[in-house]
Amino acid sequence: MATWGGFQTGGFDTGKHESCRCNEQWPVAIDKITLFETTKALWPETVNVSDNPSAAYEIYRAKEQAFPQDDEWRQRGLWAFHQALQDHERRAMAKGLPLRPGEIAFAEFDTWRRTNLNGDDCWLDEQAEYERS
């Protein structure tokens, strides 16, 4: 098996996706637990959102830009993790506490990941691969 973006890949498929690179080949095999754990590991232990309400978004954007745009699973994982942080971020800000990204549970990430894949029929192959992992 080859690796791609740090993940084991099963093969390549021509996937349609919102980035308009529909004719490019990219791997669809992914291990969702590995995607979650490696994405979570990219975040600091705490984020002081009380002093900077944009801190979590700024970290997300920096991480997004640090990986190639064609690293599809990593990019989608970063976005789903950032979405999962939002409720935690609101609670932390309301209480004047730091945000703790390590408290994000796989189920929260997985809910957002599935929601994002369910938005468009062009993600059917990726959705099926995610469900099989």
* Domain locations along the chain: 30-132
pTM: 0.71
The torsion angle over the Cα atoms of residues 5, 10, 16 and 17, rounded to 10 degrees, is -30
**Which amino acid, residue 125?**
D
With tokens 């349609």, the residue in question is 16
93 CA to centre of own chain: 23
What is the tens place of the pLDDT at every residue in 41-58?
A: 999 999 999 899 999 999
What is the tens place of the pLDDT at every residue in 4-33?
A: 344 433 333 333 344 444 434 445 567 889
